[in-house]
């Protein structure tokens, strides 16, 4: 796992003034990675980092002499293709990029460096983001035990968790083609559903449309077919984390998921945040990975000293909802809940190790979803399914509107922020998606 070094020093400041604001998601201690181009441009997307409210073009920075030739060569291969080449090169060069960026952007670099890099900087409001990499495969896990328990109680009050839950990281293979970046709009899906009292199913727009608050993990270096990844090496194969909204059609899901699990109820849209928060940036927010007393200890292939000591990651997560009426009235989104990613029942290292344990060959850019990250309290549900008790108890928004499930025009924003005593807080930036009416 990544160790702390001088790049995590909370006293570090940048000559980019906005990076020193207390409420910024992107201080110099963060330096997330993404792909951007000038808004309205038809040019190729290029690798970038965020610093305060500015975006630094990394290829331009290399050409201006702020980054080494080795980094410049790799970054140029990312242009128009995504961050996959940088992912594939391994953690060493990624750490080198972080160190060189801190050297170039820290306050001590002074006016000379600011003048040098000025042509490579753009205000964030003037750029367009895209997916950070080519995602070859997407696997959604079920590591949120509070969500699994709450949903299980809706259907199995006396035995909410299935017998395998505490032994094996459960997951299913999702759809890549419908993954979009923050700002994504999507049509309410059509599907076959069956009301409990109906004799036969019907077909039409789904009525129980939901969101799911998740964290996504992106694979860096892969593994050869047939070669598992030991738990102590797993994080060397991880690039970083994003926020992920696994939109779900609950009525469609209830009718189709037996016997093979999620299908069309999950494949119509998935939204991720555009900025990848690297594993290096997350180092100050690691926590011990623990299990409640009486729960089984993970099997040996999923258990390692480093994972026990620092496998969990503290990320405060929130969901905000803005209806069309709220937007038209100029009202801010309403916060629906908050939870902590450190409560996940399985760590990202365990997810990767288990995924590769059968010899499955992971590849740079593969995406894992954590599963819905709910908290232990009833008001900490990471989906409307939980917050409304399966649609039985509507939630009331500040303007008086009520929701059991999402309506057309609703926008959902996921928020993620890492905080720890004595450390500089960092954030994930926006992850917003909006529901549009079904195709007529």
Q: Considering Cα of 384, then 390, then 391, then 393, what sign does the dihedral take? A: negative
SS3 106: strand
For 393, residues 6+ apart whose C-beta sits below 8 A from its C-beta are 404
CA distance 302 to 348: 11
CA distance 17 to 53: 9
CA distance 357 to 227: 8
Q: Considering Cα of 351, then 144, then 430, then 409, what sign does the dihedral take? A: positive
Active-site choice (147, 237, 354, 355): 147
CA distance 67 to 302: 38
**In angstroms, how far is the first alpha carbon of the chain from the final one?**
51
Active site residue 147: yes
User: In whole angstroms, how far apart are CA 413 and each of 146, 265, 338, 423, 429?
Assistant: 21, 20, 12, 26, 10
Alpha-helical segments (H) within 79-144: 84-88, 91-105, 110-117
3: nearest Cα among 372, 397, 282, 209 = 282
Q: What are residue 411's DSSP bridge partners?
A: 322, 434
Burial tier of 124 (Cβ tally within 10 Å: 0-12, 13-18, 19+): middle
What amino acid positions are annotated as catalytic residues?
A: 147
């Amino acid at each position: 796992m990544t160790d702390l070094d001088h790049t995590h020093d909370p006293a570090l400041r940048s000559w980019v003034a906005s990076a020193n604001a207390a409420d910024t998601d992107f201080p110099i201690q963060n330096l997330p990675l993404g792909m951007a181009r000038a808004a309205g441009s038809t040019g190729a997307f290029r690798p970038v980092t965020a610093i305060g409210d500015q975006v630094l073009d990394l290829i331009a920075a290399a050409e201006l002499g702020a980054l080494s030739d080795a980094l410049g060569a790799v970054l140029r291969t990312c242009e128009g293709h995504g961050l996959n080449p940088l992912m594939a090169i391994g953690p060493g060069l990624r750490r080198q990029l972080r160190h060189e960026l801190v050297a170039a952007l820290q306050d001590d670099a002074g006016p000379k460096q600011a003048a040098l890099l000025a042509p490579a900087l753009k205000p964030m409001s003037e750029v367009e983001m895209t997916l950070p990499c080519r995602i070859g495969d997407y696997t959604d896990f079920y590591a949120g035990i509070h969500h699994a328990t709450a949903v299980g109680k809706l259907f199995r009050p006396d035995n909410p968790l299935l017998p395998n839950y505490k032994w094996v990281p459960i997951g299913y293979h999702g759809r890549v083609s419908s993954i979009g970046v923050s700002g994504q709009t999507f049509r309410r899906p059509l599907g076959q559903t069956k009301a409990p009292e109906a004799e036969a199913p019907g077909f039409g727009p789904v009525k129980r449309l939901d969101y799911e608050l998740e964290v996504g993990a992106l694979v860096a270096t892969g593994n050869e077919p047939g070669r598992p990844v030991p738990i102590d090496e797993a994080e060397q194969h991880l690039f970083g984390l994003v926020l992920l909204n696994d939109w779900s059609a609950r009525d469609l899901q209830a009718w189709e998921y037996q016997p093979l699990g999620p299908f069309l109820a999950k494949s119509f849209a998935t939204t991720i945040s555009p900025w990848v928060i690297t594993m290096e940036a997350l180092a100050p927010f690691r926590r011990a990975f623990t299990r409640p007393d009486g729960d089984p200890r993970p099997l040996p292939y999923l258990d390692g000293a480093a994972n026990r000591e620092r496998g969990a990651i503290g990320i405060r997560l929130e969901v905000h909802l803005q209806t069309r009426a709220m937007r038209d009235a100029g009202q801010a989104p309403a916060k629906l809940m908050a939870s902590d990613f450190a409560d996940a029942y399985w760590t990202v290292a365990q997810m990767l190790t288990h995924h590769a344990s059968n010899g499955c060959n992971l590849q740079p850019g593969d995406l894992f979803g954590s599963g819905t990250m709910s908290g232990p309290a009833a008001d900490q549900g990471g989906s409307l399914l939980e917050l409304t008790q399966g649609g039985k108890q509507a939630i009331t928004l500040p303007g008086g509107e009520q929701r059991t499930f999402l309506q057309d025009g609703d926008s959902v924003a996921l928020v993620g922020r890492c905080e720890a005593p004595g450390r500089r807080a960092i954030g994930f930036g926006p992850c917003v998606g909006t529901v549009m009416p079904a195709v007529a």
